[in-house]
Amino acid sequence: HRRVRARDLVAAKERGERWAMLTSYDQYTAALFDRAGIPVLLVGDSASNNVFGHETSLPVTVDELIPLVRAVSGAASRAMVVADFPFGSFESGPAQALATGVRFLKEGRAHAVKLEGGARVAPQVDALTGAGIPVFAHVGFTPQHENLLSGYRVQGRGGDADRIVDDAVALAEAGAIAVVLEMVTSDVAKRITHAVPVPTIGIGAGPHTDAQVLVWQDMAGLRTGKLPRFVKQYADLDAILDDAARRFAEDVRAGSFPAEEHTFH
Ligand code: KIV
Ligand code: NA
């Protein structure tokens, strides 16, 4: 299979074919999701929470994400691998964004990058695109702005619906090859999906986007506790691994592991 490219994603939109994207932060999930036919893998700054155990996405750094990007791109033979710009790695301007993008492609072997923000970051999108780096935009609820946005809140319910649509259009005009829509009303997502020629990828954005993305540990039930309403859990990995760890420990305590077949003579 050849590598998924930006034009494949646009062609899928034109044919009305929906597709799924997942996060990935390591070689096993990358190879597995690639084999399952997931066309785009995102090494999200959500690694901050889901890999490094921070409370928010803010602390993770480019230096911490690059080895994860490298692991994912090394293991995925078909999927487009997207590296997510962490907080503080692009806001200063196009030069900073370009430096970060170059690092993710050179050192991480990513195929594309993603950055959060509205029309204000269009110059960054333009600079990256000009350098040959495909960009995924990300509008609506942007977790890196959670302090300013006063927490995880659905966007587009007040007078901000038109502004979110304008942001998405400005970013597509600046060259973004896709737009992630996070926690926006289904109505706003539908408007944007019709307004831009590139695919929209929803997370908590309803059924009208061209694609859907979930964090893999949410999708597979490794994360427990109160999950966002937009998550659907397709497996219960927490229960599966809990059971495996308990049975391993029990076998060791009972002396039934290792058995003869695990033993060298
Ligand atoms: O970091 C992340 O996982 C993301 C997706 C949820 C879109 O940005
Ligand atoms: Na992210």
Q: What is the pLDDT of residues 52-82, one digit of tens each?
A: 999 999 999 999 999 999 999 999 999 999 9
Surface-to-core class of residue 117, CB atoms within 10 Å of its CB (0-12 exposed, 13-18 middle, 19+ buried): buried
Mean pLDDT of 187-193: 98
Task: Give the residue extent of every domain in the chain.
Answer: 6-234, 236-265
How far does Cα 185 stand from its chain's mean position? 20
Probe residue for ligand 1, chosen from 40, 90, 179, 180 as the CB with the greatest number of ligand atoms within 8 Å: 180
Q: What is the pLDDT of residues 24-36, one digit of tens each?
A: 999 999 999 999 9
Cα 81 to ligand 2 centre (Å): 14
Does the model's ipTM exceed the 0.90 cut? yes
The token pair that represents 250 in the structure block: 């029990």
Long-range contacts from 184-189, C-beta under 8 angstroms, 24+ separation: 184/139, 184/140, 184/141, 184/154, 184/155, 184/156, 185/154, 185/155, 185/156, 185/157, 185/161, 187/156, 187/161, 188/140, 188/155, 188/156, 188/161, 188/164
Cα 114 to ligand 2 centre (Å): 8
3-state secondary structure of 87: coil
User: What is the model's pTM?
Assistant: 0.98
Q: Among all ligands shown, which has an atom nearest to the Cα of 89? A: 2
Give the position, in ligand 1's atom list, of the atom nearest the Cα of 180: 7
Cα 236 to ligand 2 centre (Å): 24
260 is catalytic: no
Mean pLDDT of 217-221: 98
Confidence band, pLDDT 50/70/90 cuts, at residue 209: very high
Instruction: Give the list of residues 6+ apart from residue 186 with CB closer than 8 angstroms, or none.
Output: 205, 206, 207, 208
> Above pLDDT 70, what percent of the chain?
100
- pLDDT of 147 over the 80 cut: yes
Give domain 6-234's CATH architecture.
Alpha-Beta Barrel (3.20)
Specify the residue with its C-alpha closest to ligand 1, atom 5: 44
How far does Cα 111 stand from its chain's mean position? 13
Long-range contacts from 59-64, C-beta under 8 angstroms, 24+ separation: 60/86, 60/87, 61/86, 61/88, 61/89, 62/86, 62/89, 62/100, 62/103, 62/104
Mean pLDDT of 93-99: 98
Enumerate residues lining ligand 1, CB below 6 A. 23, 42, 44-46, 84, 180, 203, 213, 215
- pLDDT of 158 over the 90 cut: no
Confidence band, pLDDT 50/70/90 cuts, at residue 213: very high
Specify the residue with its C-alpha closest to ligand 1, atom 2: 44
Specify the residue with its C-alpha closest to ligand 1, atom 4: 44
Confidence band, pLDDT 50/70/90 cuts, at residue 14: very high
Mean pLDDT of 1-21: 96
Residue 30 pLDDT:
98
